[in-house]
Amino acid sequence: MSRVAKDDCPSSQMRRITNVLTHQPHLTPRDRQSGVGFFCSSARRLILSVLVLAFFLFQSAVSAFDTVVLDPGHGGHDRGASIGYVFEKHLALDTARRVEQLLKQAGLKVIMTRSRDVFIPLPGRAEAGNRYRNAIFVSLHYNYNRGGSGSGVETYYKHSSSYSLAAYIQAYLVQRTRMSNRGVKSASFHVIRNTTRNPAVLVECGFVSNPTERSRMMTGEFRARIAEGVAQGIVAYKKAR
């Protein structure tokens, strides 16, 4: 490194950067005569190698994570989907706590945007998703549709870098619960649109409005299975990095 730096070609910084970016030698006849071209080309190769190495290091730094920000949807005055006394905010918090325990057992750090029945505005949730390095953001919700015919689980992402995380969680969630697979979808929900520093997904863990799914999700045994699906998806995603 030091030898190359000492022997670096005498051209201006700007011309060297232009050469690297365009792959054009741009050597003057005098440069060629003096052998400067050799040094320019070795310096160029070195710089390119460093750039390639830096790119891969950056990629692995982006992919590796040790922290999971879990975001149980709604809370406080915001019940989310509700039928009778079954509130989405309670289901989401209970599920997130179960996921939290499983992820901690797997050696991951877990940050909860809320651990109690409190209302957190959406910007505060996305801010938590952006606060930590080497993290992922997973928002947990339960679904609702008029008429109650909707069924199954689905996972949303906004930015393409989050697709893979969504796909892992969705696959394991379906496998673990045997609920119908509504797929991985792109949508512009606030928390996943505004969490830009880290991969971010939003999981809909079944329909509160569907009587059959509602009676299942009211049991701790079934919420435990949902939590296992989400946690296993996250761990499998981490192993695949």
Pattern 79-118, Zn ion, x by CB under 5 A: -x--------------------------------------
Pattern 123-142, Zn ion, x by CB under 5 A: ------------------x-
Q: In the window 61-80, what residues touch Zn ion (CB under 5 A)?
A: 73, 80
Interface with Zn ion includes 233 (CB under 5 A)?
Answer: no
The dihedral formed by the CA atoms of 155, 156, 157 and 162, expressed in degrees to the nearest 10: 0
CB of residue 232 to Zn ion, shortest distance in Å: 22
Interface with Zn ion includes 229 (CB under 5 A)?
Answer: no
Where do we find the tokens 């059959």? 212
Interface with Zn ion includes 150 (CB under 5 A)?
Answer: no
Distances (CA, A) of 3 to 36, 39, 135, 230: 15, 11, 39, 52
Where do we find the tokens 């054009």? 24
Q: In the window 198-227, what residues touch Zn ion (CB under 5 A)?
A: none
Sequence-distant (≥ 6) Cβ neighbours of residue 229 within 8 angstroms: 169, 172, 173, 174, 175, 176, 177
Backbone angles phi, psi at 34, to 5 degrees: -80, -5
Sequence-distant (≥ 6) Cβ neighbours of residue 38 within 8 angstroms: none
Looking at beta carbons only, is 80 or 229 nearer to Zn ion? 80
Which residue sits closest to Zn ion, CB atoms considered?
Answer: 141
CB of residue 67 to Zn ion, shortest distance in Å: 23
Binding site for Zn ion (CB under 5 A): 73, 80, 141
